[in-house]
Structure 1
Amino acid sequence: MGAHTQGRGPRRANGVREAEILGLLQRAEGALTPGEVAERLGGELTYSTVVTILTRMHTKDLLSRTPRGRAYAYAPVTDDAGFAARRMRTVLEERPDRKAVLARFADELSDTDAELLRQLLGPEQ
């Protein structure tokens, strides 16, 4: 078995492809159709593969989509910092002892990050 799929380039894990496409959409000036995404990827993926990946990412609530002509145009639902915050919140929500998780997180913050977090949380009441 070769490392190529139908001469279209090296195979990559789905998560890698999703990250690549998410980055492309985050850098775009606006929402892109699957054809525009495929074009910006340099023809590395077929149109149908791009549609499949975009649809999967929309199902995971990573992308919003709006009708444009006969296709949908896709855009990220948030920026990179927003996605990182969502991942952190998901991890927190999956643990039964939120207090312990938050305490461990706070204990491992650098002094600079701890001060920044204090500023973001606002003045003490």
Structure 2
Amino acid sequence: MRIRGFGELEADVMDRIWKREASAATSVRDLYEEMAAERTIAYTTVMSTMDNLHTKGWLSRERDGKAYRYRPTLTREEHSARLMREALDGGGHPDLVLTHFIEQIGTEESESIRQALRRISRRKGAR
């Protein structure tokens, strides 16, 4: 699976971390053991990938003895929203990008957008 904005291994690591409970911190060892059960991979490869994701700002980390425990800095949904924002900003005329996007989505997705706009409007009105 490829997640936009990440390399293949980075996407696999982020996907596995996002699937965990939101408050759960993950060690390199935990993730390595999970990944090694499915494919041939070196511990140092997982460690380097998680360190790179930390350096890029996608993971935060805290010391746990001699090791680190990692957490995502954004949820999967926040990451997706950021990509949507970047697409809207970088795709030419934002109003046309949005129009083309809306033309491509289905009835259920359109209703979800309407509901989200109503929730946001109510929250802003309550301030």
> TM above 0.5, one fold?
yes
> Which has more radius of gyration?
1
In the alignment, the residues of structure 2 paired with residue 48 and residue 90 of structure 1 have an alpha-carbon distance, to the nearest angstrom, of 33
Query: Which stretches in structure 1 are left out of the alignment for 5+ residues?
Result: 1-13
Partner of 1:27: 19
Identity %: 29
TM-score normalized by the length of structure 1: 0.72
After superposition, the Cα gap between the structure-2 partners of 1:28 and 1:118, relative to the gap in structure 1 and judged at 3 Å, is: closer
Partner of 2:8: 16
Aligned counterparts, 1:51-70, within 5 A: 51-70=47-66
In the alignment, the residues of structure 2 paired with residue 57 and residue 18 of structure 1 have an alpha-carbon distance, to the nearest angstrom, of 7
> Among 115, 118, 126, which residue is 1:119 paired with?
115
What is the aligned residue count?
112
After superposition, the Cα gap between the structure-2 partners of 1:20 and 1:119, relative to the gap in structure 1 and judged at 3 Å, is: same
4+ residue runs over 4 A deviation: none
Q: CA deviation at 1:114?
A: 1.5
> Among 77, 82, 105, which residue is 2:101 paired with?
105
> Among 44, 48, 60, which residue is 2:44 paired with?
48
> Among 76, 88, 91, which residue is 2:87 paired with?
91
In the alignment, the residues of structure 2 paired with residue 71 and residue 94 of structure 1 have an alpha-carbon distance, to the nearest angstrom, of 39
Partner of 1:10: none
Partner of 1:39: 33
Root-mean-square deviation (CA), in Å?
2.5
In the alignment, the residues of structure 1 paired with residue 102 and residue 20 of structure 2 have an alpha-carbon distance, to the nearest angstrom, of 35
In the alignment, the residues of structure 2 paired with residue 82 and residue 120 of structure 1 have an alpha-carbon distance, to the nearest angstrom, of 15
In the alignment, the residues of structure 1 paired with residue 112 and residue 15 of structure 2 have an alpha-carbon distance, to the nearest angstrom, of 27
TM-score normalized by the length of structure 2: 0.71
